[in-house]
Each structure stands twice: as structure tokens, then as C-alpha cells.
Amino acid sequence: MAQEVVEIERALLALPPHDRAAVVHAALISLDGGAADDSQDDLDTAWREEVGDRLDEVLEGKVELGSFEATRARFTAKYPTTPR
């Protein structure tokens, strides 16, 4: 690891947890090609639109909802628990 990276890591780990989380969050968003400075309001608006669109699809009968039991069974089959 380059010395610069080691210094950045050391500085990051010295931050309080909340600040460290904010830096890590911005770094992860940058890996996805997003802008780290997207405002929370913009993100909230995007999620509200997504939830609204999905609700409209349900209400219009475009999607069929499954039972909790069936959904859980599919999830468990796809992601079995592993001993820790």
C-alpha cells in the first residue's frame, strides 16, 4: 500500500464514528459513479418517486404481490444462513 494511502487510512480511523461514516459514505457513492455531494433532499425525492411508482404499479394491477411466507421462503432459499 502506498504511503499516502496509509496516511489517509490512519487519518480516517482517527475520526469520530459519525465523521468516519460520512467519509466512507461519500467514498462508496463515488465508486458507483454518483456525486458525493448529492443532497439528502435530492435522494429523498428520488426515493419518494420510486416508492410512488411501485405503489402505482401495485394499485394498477401491473405486479402481483406474494405472501410474506412465500417471499421469505424464496429469500431463505437464495440466501441460506451460514454459521458464524
Q: What is the pLDDT of residues 27-75, one digit of tens each?
A: 888 887 666 556 778 888 999 999 999 999 999 999 989 999 999 999 9
Of the two residues 49 and 3, the one the predictor is more confident about is 49
Q: Cβ of 25: how many Cβ atoms within 10 Å? A: 11
Q: What average pLDDT score do residues 10-24 get?
A: 94
Of the two residues 18 and 40, the one the predictor is more confident about is 18
Contacts 24+ apart (CB under 8 A), 70-73: none
When pLDDT is cut at 50, 70 and 90, the band that residue 83 belongs to is low
Q: What is the pLDDT of residue 26?
A: 86
Residue type, 81: T
